[in-house]
Amino acid sequence: MGAKRVWSTTGVVALTGALLLTSAPTASADYVRDQQWVLDAYKMDATWALTQGEGVTVAVVDSGVDGSHPDLTGQVLQGKDFTGGGNAQEDVAGHGTGMASLIAGHGHGAGNNAGMVGLAPKAKILPLRVLQNKDDNFEDDAWAEAVRYAVDHGAKVINLSLSGGRGSRTLTNGREAIAYAQAHDVVVVAAAGNDGGVSINEPAALPGVVSVGAVDNEGNLWDKSNTGEGLTLVAPGVEIVSANTNRSDGYSLDNGTSDATAYVSAAAALVRAKYPDLTAGQVINRLIKSASFLDHKGLKAPDDEYGYGILRPNKALTMNIPAGPKKNPLGQMSSSSSTSSQSSKGTGSSAKAKKRFSSGSFLVLAGGIAVVVVIGAIAFVVIRSRRNGGNGGSGPGGGSPQHPTYPPAQQPYPNSAPNQGYPTPPGQSPQHPNPYAQQPPHQGQ
């Protein structure tokens, strides 16, 4: 069963918090590059010297991807439309193009020094269109069929920047599709949701799926990011610039767990490119083991708000992390899933059964919903409020997935090192250290 999603500019502006709109002239592409604070925070120049995601295909199950955007030319495969006819490279909504740009954008101009660059600029994007217009219904069978298609057409990572609303559940076909991907060694990454609630939405809450929340450029949890048991990682998801061919200047500004999910998918592509012999479970293990709580003191992984920590692509590639077991540390979907899951995140004997959800599958794009503004008309006002425990209402569902049996529980991480010469991200005062400094965490090993 599908349900219609409400998508309005008013709702988006309310979602993003303080955002000043001015009558400034249209921004230049170089200005667009300058606003990508994530690239500096993650020291991506050093990371790209190791790999840029060559040879890895990332499936973007979304609203389509416009491969004609100058920052995505040559990166987007033909893909397939699952909405009943159309072109997978047509993106009326603009969301899928934005997610693709965060994963595999390569920029444009002389030396590709202008425009959007994703974390894995040499990965390929397989666009799988499950939404045409912003008011279309979402159907489980559409995105489930797209997931199966991705597996059968060589995707090694599947990005699901969509989420079930509060109380929704993934129907059998969706569960079977996730199980199919896991059985075929594919990393599945999904958004935790933008309800500000205390449970992770499905499909992110399903066993074995990397569930992703959002943080800002100081490493603080975004106040609309869903939290709860079973959250895997958090990644940048506040004041994120992305490609959008529906805007006159070709770009938009987003907040949401969608963007954070795209960054985790890109990091998974980098790991798969550098370590092609690792299984999907071992790739997830590296992402988990290399994450850090940075300057958040007193947390123990897995934490309900930060999971195993903030994504760190460079450390996922460079830390000395044993490959570990081949199985997925987050559990495994049963291929015979029916109305309730027979497995949960984690495989310990104390694992609890998933909570049952109310009927109906209400899928929404989990943020990264374009705040449709001209980049030059934006005064970046960064949301800096820290999470107030339990903020936001709890939906009737979300599941209660257990934690991985490996890696071992990590100890609280040390404070982040001072800013080591990285450019100060937009909206961040110079006196604040860069919270994404790439020092090794204490792994308790």
What is the C-alpha to C-alpha distance for residues 53 and 383, in angstroms, rounded to an integer?
A: 31
What is the C-alpha to C-alpha distance for residues 372 and 232, in angstroms, rounded to an integer?
A: 30
Active site residue 62: yes
Cβ contact 244:250 at 8 Å: yes
* Cα 301–Cα 202–Cα 266 angle in degrees, nearest 5: 65
Write down the catalytic residue from 95, 106, 296, 403: 95
CB atoms within 10 A of CB 25: 9
Cβ contact 410:329 at 8 Å: no
Active site residue 95: yes
Cβ contact 427:253 at 8 Å: no
Give the three-state DSSP class for 146.
helix
Q: Which of 333, 365, 335 is nearest to 129 (CA)?
A: 365
Residue owning tokens 């979402």? 138
Write down the catalytic residue from 40, 62, 195, 303: 62
Cβ contact 228:295 at 8 Å: no
Give the DSSP letter string of 219-251. Answer: SPBPTTS---TT--EEEE-SSEEEE-TTSTTSE
Write down the catalytic residue from 258, 337, 341, 361: 258
CB atoms within 10 A of CB 8: 11
Rg (CA), the chain: 19
Active site residue 442: no
Q: Is 184 exposed, middle or buried (0-12, 13-18, 19+ CB in 10 A)?
A: middle
Give the DSSP letter string of 50-87. Answer: T---TT-EEEEEES---TTSTTTTTTB---EE-SSSS-
Query: Which are the catalytic amino acids?
Result: 62, 95, 258
